[in-house]
Structure 1
Amino acid sequence: MKIKSYLYSQLSISFLPIFLGLYFITSIIFLVKIASLTSVITIDAFELFKLYGYSVPKIIFFTVPISFFISLVITLAKLSSEYELIVITSFGFNPMKILKIFFPSTFLLSIALLIISVGLIPKTDYLMSTFLDKKKKEANFNIKASEFGQKFGDWLIYIDKKDGKNYENVRLFKTQEGLDQFILANKAVLNNKDGELNFTLIDGKAFYIGDEELNQIDYRTMDINDSIVNKKDFIFTDSYNYWKYSLQNNSDIDDFTFFILTSLFPLISLFLVITFGYYNPRYEKNRAIGLSLIAVVIYYVITKYLTKNIELHSLYVAPSIWIMGTYYLYIKTTKKLY
């Protein structure tokens, strides 16, 4: 138990600086992307923080697997360089027993990454997309007081006074084949619900002027939509139904498989951890970090290629290839020496 606690304490010392560094760098990238949106929409500090919050699951998903894998390798490499692994091995802890010590935490990490990627990221992506659609729609609608020629959907609109989303003395006009529509309102309120704009007109009159008749309606409130709501084939409710719909319609399959395979990366790379971490400092140089980075790049390239070309089949092809390949390296290097 003392050796197990010691190994995990060394892992935490390696993991935190690497994770925080990658998290900070990735956060900067996402914040720059969010800031670039200000050329299209206007957001305040609270909304900027809100958009960043929607990005946090992705930042964690992209940084944790790499950080954890490299930290495991660095932990063992550090113990090797200080001859501590020799002492641990003398107590009967061969590489496979070291691997078994790290297996439970790595397994739990992969489960957590699966929950974040497959469960949480689709929801935050939907919330961000909805928020941006709403802001873009609002940005495109900029009615100014006492100006002619402005439009609200199919309506020509003129207002006397504007205070935020509240308007006074509103006139709306629309002409169609054989029918002209003219609406007056003492007050109006602009509503933006999930990117769909509508006017709530208060206390006014509506005139419908045809070729042979004229109708007048006095109203207390009336709603005027900017445009007909675009019908979508799928309405997001939860991540399970989202992925179910996507798989049935062959959409976003590469994202689904990439999320799963990336979540499994730390777990199926444990043989690489002991392969790169074990070395004799008297005869070999510490190449753990360089080899780890090369392994990460190779895995992500293979994963991207397989998810694009064989889609769902990559869920068993990629792990099988990776585990067999890393186990072969382990047999040829570390196993025969330790």
Structure 2
Amino acid sequence: MKLKEYLLSQLSQTFFPIFLGLYFITSIIFLVKIASLSSAITINFVELLKLYSYVMPTIIFFTLPISFFISLVITLSKLSSEYELIVITSFGLNPLKIIKIFFPITLLMTIALVIISVGLIPKAKYLNKAFIEQKKKEANFNIKASEFGQKFGDWLIYIEDKDDKKYSKVKLFKTQDKKDQFIISDNAVLENENGNLSFKFINGKSFVIDNEELNQIDYKNMYLNDSIVDSNIGDFTTSFNYWKANFSKNQNTDRFSFNILVSIFPLISLLLVVYAGYFNPRYEKNKAVMKAVVFVTVYYIFMQISVDNLFLHSLYIVPLSWIGFTYFMYQRSVKQQY
């Protein structure tokens, strides 16, 4: 029990600096991309944090598997360089038993990554796209006082005065089905609720005029709505329904496969952790980090090629091939010596 706690404490000391470093660097890249949106839309600090929260699952998804795998390798290599693994092995704790100690936490992390990649990321991307479209639509409705030719949806609009989103002496006009429609209002407020932009008119009249009659309505409050969210975005209910709809249309199967294969990378690479981390410091140099980077690079290239060509079939071909490769590397080196 104490040995297990010691190994996990050594892993945590290595993991958190690596993960936080990668997370910080990746966050800066995404923040720069978010800040570049200010050229097209106006966002305040709170909205900037909101957009950042939408990309957090993606940042975690790309940084966590790599940092965890490299941390495992560095942890074992550190113990090897300090002769601790030799002592541990002499007490009967072989490499496979070391893997069993790290297996539960690796499995939990893999499950968390699957939930993030398949469950959270699609929802976060939808919210991010909907928010940006909403801000762009709001920017298009930047109605100015005392200017002709401005539009709100299908309506021509003219206002005499404006204070932020409050308007006074508002007049709207639209021709539809050979009918002229007028709306006049003493005051109006521009509101945004759940992706819908609407004018609330206060104290006014509405007219509908055709060749035969004129209809007039006096009102105290009236709403005129216009959809903000682009219809191309579609609706998002749950992640399950999202992937179900994509599979039925044979869309984004490569993205689904990519997400799953990235999530399980640390779990199916545990034998490589032993291969890269175990060495005799008296006869060998510590090449653990270099090996870990090479394995990560090879896996991601192999995975991407498989996903692009095999789609959903890569979900079983890649793990089986990779586990076979890791067992071969483990058997020809570590298993023979320890």
TM-score, normalised to structure 1, is: 0.94
Q: Following the alignment from structure 2 to structure 1, what is the Cα–Cα distance between the partners of residues 15 and 301? A: 24
Can you list the C-alpha shifts for 1:225-275, whole angstroms capped at 9, x where unaligned? Answer: 336986579521222222222222222222211111111011000011001
- Provide the C-alpha distance between the structure 2 equivalents of 1:20 and 1:230, rounded to a whole number of angstroms: 36
**200-209 or 23-32: bigger deviation:** 200-209
User: Distance between the aligned counterparts of 1:5 and 1:314, measured in 2?
Assistant: 36
**C-alpha separation between the residues in 2 aligned to 1:218 and 1:194?**
28
Aligned residue type for 2:280: N
C-alpha distance in structure 2 between counterparts of 1:176 and 1:107, whole Å: 62
Aligned letter for 1:173? Answer: F
Moved more, 171-180 or 8-17: 171-180
Output the CA distance in 2 between the equivalents of 1:255 and 1:27: 22
Aligned residues: 338
- Preserved CA contact (<8 Å) 2:195 2:229: no
Contact 2:146 2:161 (8 Å CA) reproduced: yes
Which stretch has the larger CA shift, 243-252 or 141-150?
Answer: 243-252
Q: Does structure 2 conserve the Cα–Cα contact (< 8 Å) formed by 1:135 and 1:195?
A: no
Residue 40 of structure 2 corresponds to: 40
Question: Which position in structure 2 is the counterpart of 1:223?
Answer: 223
User: Alignment partner of 2:265: what SS?
Assistant: helix
For residues 330 and 299 of structure 2, the distance between their equivalents in structure 1, rounded to whole angstroms, comes to: 17
Aligned: 1:272 with 2:286: no
After TM superposition, give the deviation of residue 106 of structure 1 in Å.
0.7
Q: Name the SS for the 1:93 alignment partner.
A: coil
Secondary structure of 2:64 counterpart: helix
Deviation larger for 261-270 or 78-87? 78-87
Change (3 A) 1:60 1:228: closer
Moved more, 190-199 or 38-47: 190-199
- 1:15 is aligned to 2:8: no
Q: Against the structure 1 CA distance between its residues 28 and 232, is the aligned structure 2 distance closer, same or farther, given a 3 Å change threshold?
A: closer
Task: Give 1:311's aligned residue.
Answer: 311
Equivalent in the alignment of 1:87: 87
Q: CA deviation at 1:75?
A: 0.7
Separation (CA, whole Å) in 2 of partners of 1:310 and 1:218: 65
Q: Distance in 2 between matches of 1:135 and 1:159?
A: 22
| 2:61 pairs with 1:72 | no
Match status 1:106 vs 2:106? yes
How far the C-alpha of 1:47 sits from its partner, in A, is 1.2
What pairs up with 1:178-257 in 2 under 5 angstroms? 178-226=178-226, 235-257=235-257
More moved, 231-240 vs 322-331: 231-240
Supply the distance in 2 between the matched residues of 1:91 and 1:185 (Cα, whole angstroms). 87
Give the direction of change, closer, same or farther, for the CA distance of 1:195–1:87 in structure 2 (3 Å limit): same
1:29 shift after superposition: 1.0
RMSD: 1.9
CA contact (8 A) 2:200 2:223 kept: yes
Q: Verify the 8 A CA contact 2:195 2:227 in the aligned structure 1.
A: no
Q: Match for 1:62: what amino acid?
A: F
In structure 1, the partner of 2:327 is: 327
Query: Are residues 124 and 162 of structure 1, via their aligned partners in 2, closer, same or farther at CA, if it must alter by over 3 Å?
Result: same
Aligned-pair distance for 1:217?
2.3
SS in 2 for 1:128: helix
Instruction: Indicate conservation of the 8 Å contact 1:134/1:193, yes or no.
Output: no
Q: 1:64 to 1:230 in 2, by over 3 A?
A: closer
Take 1:240 and 1:12, find their aligned partners in 2: how far apart are those partners? 33
For 1:272-308, what per-residue CA distance to the aligned partner results, in whole angstroms no more than 9, with x for missing partners?
1001011122222211111111111111122222222
Asked whether the equivalents of residues 131 and 194 of structure 1 are also in contact (C-alpha less than 8 Å), the reply is: no
Residues 48 and 167 of structure 1: is their aligned pair in 2 closer, same or farther, counting only changes over 3 Å?
A: same
8 Å CA contact 1:168–1:188 kept in 2: the answer is yes
- Provide structure 1 residue ranges, at least 5 long, that are not aligned to the other structure: none
Q: Residues 229, 277 of structure 1: CA spacing in aligned structure 2 closer, same or farther, 3 A cutoff? A: closer
Compute the displacement of 1:55 (Å): 1.7
- Identical-residue share of aligned pairs (%): 63
Alignment partner, residue 131 of structure 1: 131
Work out whether residues 34 and 48 of structure 1, in 8 Å CA contact, stay in contact via their aligned partners in 2: yes
Encode CA deviations 1:157-214: one digit per residue, 9 max, x unaligned: 1101112211111011122453222221111121223443222222211222223433
Offset, 1:49: 1.3
Residue type at the aligned position of 2:150: Q
Aligned equivalents of 1:229 and 1:34: distance in 2?
A: 19
Contact 2:145 2:162 in 1 (8 A): yes
Q: Which runs of 5+ in 2 are unaligned?
A: none
Of stretches 172-181 and 84-93 in structure 1, the one that deviates more from structure 2 is 172-181
Separation (CA, whole Å) in 1 of partners of 2:58 and 2:207: 53
Q: Is the Cα contact below 8 Å between 1:147 and 1:159 reproduced in 2?
A: yes
Compute the TM-score of the two structures, normalised by the length of structure 2: 0.94
Query: What secondary structure sits across from 2:264 in the alignment?
Result: helix
